[in-house]
Amino acid sequence: MNIILTGFMGTGKTTVGKLLAAQLGYAFVDTDALIEQQVGRTIADIFAQLGEAAFRRMEAEVAAQLGERDRLVIATGGRLMLDPENVAALGRNGRIFCLIATPEEILNRVLADRGKRPLLAGDNPRGRIEVLLQVRAEKYGQFPQIVTSGKTAAEVAAEIMELIATTTNYEINE
């Protein structure tokens, strides 16, 4: 079984994922980092040079690869789990949790990395965050949601560990 963490950028997927992996004795995989490693380019470069459609194809390939593996904690790119095929690929052998945070907290967390976040390019990153959160709300809502605002990574990891221990898997609302 794998643990898949999805959600908007800056919600803590990588930080919490690394902590969960250590606690479970699983390997940790960040899908964006894996794509960068496989392609030899940063996500920003992939978007700029190859385009978003090419990046989304790479995400689908990575989802299919990781869905065949076991004992992973997977932190997905913020949009990867909006694609039903990616949900099916990763959900077959995994528990999916969506990490959520307030727009203010997301902005504070990602400001330092803004140059690496192509979806936040422009003059109004907070407004862009709010719009993207609204657009993605329905898709993110199909997974159990874990609020990360105002919590430490250890608190979020403990909440996920409790859910893993006390709940069974669930049907994905497609």
Say if CB 145 and CB 5 are below 8 A apart: no
Alpha-carbon span 40 to 54, nearest angstrom = 14
Nearest CA-CA partner of 153 in 6, 10, 4, 12: 12
**Per-residue model confidence (pLDDT) at position 166:** 83
Q: For the whole model, what pTM was predicted? A: 0.89
Which tens digit of pLDDT belongs to each residue from 135-166? 999 999 999 999 999 999 999 999 999 998 88
Which tens digit of pLDDT belongs to each residue from 87-101? 999 999 999 999 999
All structural domains of the chain: 2-166 (3.40.50.300)
**Per-residue model confidence (pLDDT) at position 109:** 85
- Spans in the chain with pLDDT lower than 70: 112-122, 168-174
**Per-residue model confidence (pLDDT) at position 118:** 59
